[in-house]
Amino acid sequence: MSTAKRRAISFFTALVICFSTVLFTKLDVSAESTGFHVSGTSILDANGNSFVMRGINVPHAWFTQNTSQSLAAIAATGANTVRIVLSDGEQYTKNNYNDVSNVIEMCKQNNLVCILEVHDATGKDEESYLTNAVNYWIGLKDLLNANKDYVILNIANEWYATWSAFSWRSGYVTAIKNLRAAGIENMLMVDAAGWGQYVDSIRISGKTVFNADPDKNTVFSIHMYEEAGKNESTVKSNIDKCLNIGVPVVVGEFAWKHNGVDVDEATIMSYCTQKNVGYLGWSWKGNNSDLAYLDISNDWSGKSLTTWGNDLINGTYGIRNTSKLCSVYTGESSSSGSETPVGNYISLFEGTATASSWDQAVSVMTSKNDGGNFEGSIVTSDGYFYVEYTGKLPELILQSWSGGANWVKVQAYETGSANGHSYAKYSYSSCVSAFGSNDFSGKLDQVHVGATGSSVTVYNLRYCYN
């Protein structure tokens, strides 16, 4: 966020667990790999599974008494990550070892990956603020290393306000070398220059910063507000610029507007979904009165979401529909024998649902209907429906009460094994043929996965696309 305003902030931090969703690809890593680590433009967790962040920023440094309630509420949204505001004592009350340890444990209890950041360096160009943050982390080294499977270290929030790549680069090259020399083993995260919005700092100097890390385990973060996230073309260009240098990037902060200027949050969420890029909304609760529009929830318990919060959490590409828990919590290990959908996908259902003969295990409505959670427009010619199940091959059923075929069954074109289950794929062309139309946006109302002659258990329903 912005500067003097950020300083004056009192910040932020939804119940209802339904569908958590997905964006992960199984990848093989060596057995000795531990903690979060970089593989190309992907972030892998300690089990070697690709991890895509979906989460929310939490103002712990200013509202320590509300953090426990906030984390429980955020976990209930389906989020898989929180970014925790801390202080090294330079500007705010220092969060000490015991306090940070307690926060990490609360995150773990709620199955949340924990990104820790020092906020005192926000908007500062002086390297002394960055050095103070580094020294703070070094003082927590044993705690951080003991939790490297759960904790990512965001070195300093929005250090270096100036829109320039060069001093930003030299500062972070030194900081990263010092952190590694001190023995810190966690994945590191670096915010872009220019209050996190000068993306060209990553494009120009990001590779130099990355290569300064002897562990090659640093990722970059954009804060998408009125500059970096102002419209569709800017959002897409900025994400692509970072990925094109060959390392991971996340949107570490964004909102729906900032400083009176609109932010294209819809494109941020949809394009991050398309590119398998993580995002974290700013912020749960507690922003002061002139920035109250940034609050995601009206209360710490998440019982009343703001309009911004509802879009972030319940939108088509929001947290609830695109988040998958990190496998360090689910126990899922990487396996070279598993198959997963190729390319990107939107999840319509994740969980466990069983149906007896000729009943439906999963029924999902399109968003043009009340209670619907996906757009029919996702059914495009470069994709296919994908179902994981146990039992007899299920039926995929398309239903319409808006002018399309009332109730049609789609035949699978491929079956196999994945993740200890069976899977089936249903092609776009088969869907068009059965439905009698390619106007899925206008005419598709509901998708079902049903049992045939015997019971079936369904674990996911996805639409995969290239």
Q: Catalogue the active-site residues.
A: 158, 253
- Region of 224 (left: φ > 0; alpha: ψ -120 to 50; beta: rest) is beta
- Residue whose pair of structure tokens reads 């570490």 in the numeric block: 252
Could you give the maximum distance between any two Cα atoms of the chain, in Å? 70
What is the C-alpha to C-alpha distance for residues 227 and 231, in angstroms, rounded to an integer? 9
Residues 131/160, Cβ–Cβ less than 8 Å: no
What is the C-alpha to C-alpha distance for residues 226 and 258, in angstroms, rounded to an integer? 6
Q: Which residues have CB under 8 Å from 437's CB, separation 6+?
A: 404, 405, 443
Q: Mark 108-131 as b/e (b = at least 16 C-beta within 10 Å).
A: bebebbbbbbbbbbbbbbebebbb
What is the C-alpha to C-alpha distance for residues 173 and 348, in angstroms, rounded to an integer? 42
Q: Which residue from 121, 168, 152, 129 is spatially nearest to 218, judged by alpha carbons?
A: 152
- Residue whose pair of structure tokens reads 């509300």 in the numeric block: 66
The phi, psi pair for 74, rounded to 5°, reads -65, -40
Tally of CB atoms within 10 A around 180: 17
Q: Which residues have CB under 8 Å from 206's CB, separation 6+?
A: 220, 242, 245, 247
Q: Which residues have CB under 8 Å from 2's CB, separation 6+?
A: 123, 195, 225, 258, 259
Q: Mark 11-30 as b/e (b = at least 16 C-beta within 10 Å).
A: bbbbeeeebbbbbbbbeebe
